[in-house]
C-alpha cells in the first residue's frame, strides 16, 4: 500500500507496514557487505528471503536497502533481527523528523540525506535514511539509489584502514559522517548562487531575482528543519551508555556533532544574507521608484507655469490687447522658453537635478 501523507494512514492500527511519502521509480534493492580485518565480501541483488543465511556470522555485516516501495523487505528485516513493528513503521514513513531511539539490542536513527540539483537554481532533494545499529550488523534503508555511500565502499577496500579494524558502531559513524559531509557540498552550491545574485541585485533588481531569493529562503527553512534536530540526536549519542557504542567511537560522533553545529551556523548566516538581500531589493525598487517620481515631478514643475500661461491666453475674452499684437505669438514663445530655462537653472542650483 502506498500513501502520500501520514494523514492518509488515519484509522490503521499501530505498526501497520505501509509506505508513506513520494513514490520513486525504483524497486527495492538489497546489497550486503561483510568484512573484518582480513576479509571483504560483497553481495549484490540479494532477495529478501535469503537474509537468514547472512546471520550468525563473525564478520561485520552491512545490509543496505535502496527503495522502500516493497514493504516485504522491511517485514523480513524485522522478522530476522527482531525489530519492533513501530520502528519498521517509522522506516517506511519518509516524513520522519531526525531522531534517535534506543532499544535493548539495537539503536534506531533517522536523518535526511540532502543534495542540491545543479541545473534547477537552488532546489534541494531529500532522501530519508534510516540506520539500525546492532552488535555486528548495520542496516540502512534509503528512499532511492544514489552514490551517498560510495566513499564508504572505497574505504572498505583498504585492508589497512580503520574501517576494516573496527566494529559496527564505527560503520554507523562513517555513514552519518558521509551524510553530514554532503551538507557542506550543499552549502558550497548555495555560495555559488548567492554571490552573483548579490551583484545582480545591486545592478538590476529584476523581479526574477526576487523569485530566486524567495525560493532559496524556502529551501533554507526546509533544510534547517532537517539539520537542526541532529544536534540533539548526536548529543544523546554522546551521553549514551549503550554497550553498542564504544568510548573510542563516541569521540568520532563528537566530531560529527561539531560539523552539524558548523552547518547550522552556516544556515543561519545564509538566512541573514537572504533577509538582507530582500531588504536591498525592496530598497532598490523604492529608490528606482523615487528616481522615476523625481523626473516626473521635475517635468511637471516646469510645465505647470507654462500651462498656466497657455490657459490664460486660451480664455475666450473679447478684450485681450496681446491678441491683436503682431509680435504676441513669438513673445509668448520667448516667455515659455525663458521660464523653462530659469526653472532648470534653479533646480540645478538646488541640486535637485
Domain tally, the chain: 2
Residues 112 and 208 in one domain: yes
Task: Give me the pLDDT at residue 291, please.
Answer: 82
pLDDT for res 168: 92
Question: Are residues 255 and 115 part of one domain?
Answer: yes
Dihedral of alpha carbons 347, 349, 351, 353, sign: positive
Q: Identify the pLDDT of residue 320.
A: 78
Residues 329 and 225 reside in one and the same domain: no
What domain range is 113 assigned to?
A: 2-284
CATH of the domain at 309: 1.20.58.340
β partners of residue 2: 19
**Contacts for 268 with CB less than 8 Å, ≥ 6 apart:** 224
One domain, residues 172 and 313? no
Give the residue from 260, 284, 308 where a domain finishes. 284
Cell of 260: 552539524
Q: What is the DSSP letter of 6?
A: G
Q: Where are the alpha helices (DSSP H) in the chain?
A: 71-81, 85-92, 150-156, 162-165, 168-203, 207-227, 229-239, 247-312, 328-349
Rounded Cα–Cα distance for residues 10 and 31 (Å): 33
Tell me what pLDDT residue 108 has: 95
**Same domain for 229 and 258?**
yes
Q: What is the pLDDT of residue 3?
A: 54
pLDDT for 191: 85
Residues 234 and 343 in one domain: no
Residues 259 and 316 in one domain: no
Residue where the block lists cell 563473525: 58
Residue whose C-alpha is closest to residue 61's, from 172, 136, 169: 136
Domain boundary among 284, 302, 328: 284
Domain match, 10 and 35 both: yes
User: Are 196 and 344 members of one domain?
Assistant: no
Instruction: Report CA torsion sign: 263, 266, 268, 271.
Output: negative
Kindly state whether residues 235 and 337 are assigned to the same domain.
no
Say if CB 15 and CB 87 are below 8 A apart. Answer: no
pLDDT confidence of residue 4? 54
CATH of the domain at 122: 3.30.460.20
Which pLDDT value is given to residue 174?
A: 94
pLDDT of the residue at 176: 94
> Is 326 in the same domain as 223?
no
* Residues 223 and 297 both lie in one domain: no
Looking at 255, 284, 313, the residue that finishes a domain is 284
pLDDT of amino acid 182: 92
Rounded mean pLDDT for each run of 10 residues along the chain, 353 residues in total? 53 64 72 89 84 81 88 87 90 88 92 80 87 93 84 87 89 94 90 83 79 89 91 91 89 92 92 88 82 84 84 77 79 84 82 75
**Model pLDDT, residue 120:** 58
Amino acid at each position: 500500500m502506498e500513501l502520500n501523507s501520514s494523514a492518509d494512514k488515519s484509522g490503521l492500527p499501530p505498526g501497520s507496514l505501509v509506505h508513506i511519502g513520494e513514490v520513486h521509480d525504483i524497486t527495492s534493492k538489497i546489497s550486503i557487505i561483510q568484512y573484518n580485518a582480513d576479509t571483504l565480501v560483497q553481495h549484490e541483488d540479494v532477495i529478501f528471503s535469503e537474509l537468514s543465511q547472512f546471520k550468525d556470522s563473525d564478520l561485520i555485516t552491512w545490509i543496505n536497502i535502496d527503495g522502500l516501495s516493497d514493504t516485504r523487505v522491511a517485514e523480513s528485516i524485522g522478522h530476522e533481527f527482531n525489530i519492533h513493528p513501530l520502528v519498521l513503521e517509522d522506516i517506511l514513513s519518509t516524513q520522519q523528523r531526525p531522531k534517535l531511539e534506543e532499544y535493548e539490542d539495537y539503536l534506531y536513527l533517522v536523518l535526511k540525506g540532502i543534495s542540491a540539483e545543479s541545473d534547477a537554481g537552488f532546489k534541494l532533494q531529500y532522501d530519508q535514511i534510516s540506520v539500525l545499529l546492532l552488535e555486528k550488523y548495520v542496516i540502512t534503508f534509503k528512499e532511492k539509489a544514489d552514490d551517498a555511500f560510495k566513499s564508504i565502499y572505497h574505504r572498505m577496500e583498504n585492508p589497512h584502514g580503520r574501517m576494516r579494524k573496527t566494529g559496527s558502531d564505527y560503520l554507523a559513524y562513517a555513514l552519518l559522517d558521509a551524510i553530514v559531509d554532503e551538507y557542506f557540498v550543499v552549502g558550497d552550491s548555495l555560495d555559488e548562487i548567492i554571490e552573483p545574485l548579490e551583484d545582480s541585485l545591486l545592478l538590476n533588481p529584476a523581479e526574477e531575482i526576487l523569485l530566486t531569493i524567495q525560493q532559496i529562503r524556502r529551501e533554507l527553512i526546509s533544510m534547517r528543519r532537517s539539520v537542526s534536530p541532529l544536534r540533539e540526536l548526536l548529543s544523546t549519542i554522546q551521553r549514551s551508555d549503550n554497550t553498542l557504542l564504544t568510548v573510542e567511537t563516541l569521540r568520532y560522533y563528537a566530531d560529527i556533532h561539531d560539523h552539524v553545529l558548523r552547518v547550522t551556523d552556516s544556515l543561519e548566516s545564509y538566512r541573514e544574507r537572504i533577509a538582507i538581500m530582500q531588504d536591498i531589493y525592496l530598497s532598490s525598487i523604492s529608490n528606482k521608484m523615487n528616481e522615476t517620481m523625481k523626473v516626473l515631478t521635475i517635468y511637471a514643475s516646469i510645465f505647470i507655469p507654462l500651462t498656466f500661461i497657455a490657459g490664460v491666453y486660451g480664455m475666450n475674452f473679447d478684450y485681450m490687447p496681446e491678441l491683436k499684437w503682431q509680435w504676441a505669438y513669438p513673445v509668448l514663445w520667448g516667455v515659455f522658453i525663458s521660464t523653462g530655462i530659469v526653472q532648470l537653472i534653479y533646480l540645478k542650483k538646488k541640486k535637485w537635478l
